[in-house]
Amino acid sequence: MRVVRYATGTITRWGVVEEETVQELQGDLYGTWQPGPVVGPLDATTLLPPVTPTKIICVGRNYPAHAAEHRAQVPTEPLLFLKPPSALVGPGGPIILPPQSKQVEHEGELAVVIGRRCRNVRAEEAWSAVLGVACGNDVTARDLQRRDSQWTRGKGFDTFCPLGPWLVTGLAEADVADLALVCRVNGAVRQAGRTAEMVFSPAELIAYASAVMTLEPGDLLLTGTPAGVGPLCPGDVVEVEIENIGLLRNPVVAQ
């Protein structure tokens, strides 16, 4: 199922996309639910990021070709960092380039959303804690990332975590093990990889992270980016498309 979050006036709700129509999601997203009344056509619905995480966990250098383009070693264990939930922006929302940076870059990534609280989950069981997956963009102020020994600033600006367009639920671990991931800027392909290239699988990353911190329903895990990261300029349109999942499109604007 494709799950969206949408706004009607000042109220935000969960919805389900059936064909090109949004229906209300009735029940508990993390428990049992069913599609309810029709809200309206998908293209007339204002979509929000399809997650409400307590934290966004990211992993650096999880594709060998991306590590190589930064002349970095592939880590022997996952290199985790956090983005704040305030960085989220939904499909169509603008990525705002902050004045502090002269080099903001896209990083198209497979995003995994946690469905139940877990702590110290083993990799073999970790996928059972997943609610669904989405397209993500780990937008990065590369110059600030290089300047700071911690990446909080370079990765943490508002709008630096586009996510969407929806959450695809009900997938098996094998369903996401080898998907094509493409990132385009103004229609030109900048990144093209496959999720099979990941050094650490989503399940391994969940296990590793859950040995550090309790994962809560709605928490988000960005699984790293393939090679080809590059700059974003005002007026650009950046797309992250993942096979069988969806296409996330965001315009880029100057602050």
Residues forming contacts to Zn ion in the complex (CB under 5 A) are: 107, 138, 225
Min CB(8)–Zn ion separation in Å: 33
Nearest to 203 by CA among 116, 118, 130: 130
- Cβ-based nearer residue to Zn ion, 17 or 161: 161
- Cβ-based nearer residue to Zn ion, 108 or 246: 108
Strands 130-137 and 161-169: antiparallel
Min CB(99)–Zn ion separation in Å: 23
- Cβ-based nearer residue to Zn ion, 225 or 250: 225
- Cβ-based nearer residue to Zn ion, 7 or 72: 72
Min CB(226)–Zn ion separation in Å: 10
Q: Is 190 left (phi over 0), alpha (psi -120 to 50) or beta?
A: alpha
Min CB(110)–Zn ion separation in Å: 11
- Cβ-based nearer residue to Zn ion, 96 or 221: 221
Min CB(138)–Zn ion separation in Å: 3
Burial code (b: 16+ CB inside 10 Å, e: under 16) for 86-125 equals ebbbbbebebbbeeebebbbbbbbbbbbbbeebeebebee
Are 139 and 162 a contacting pair, CB within 8 Å?
A: yes
Question: Which residue has its beta carbon closest to Zn ion?
Answer: 138
Nearest to 238 by CA among 38, 101, 89, 112: 89
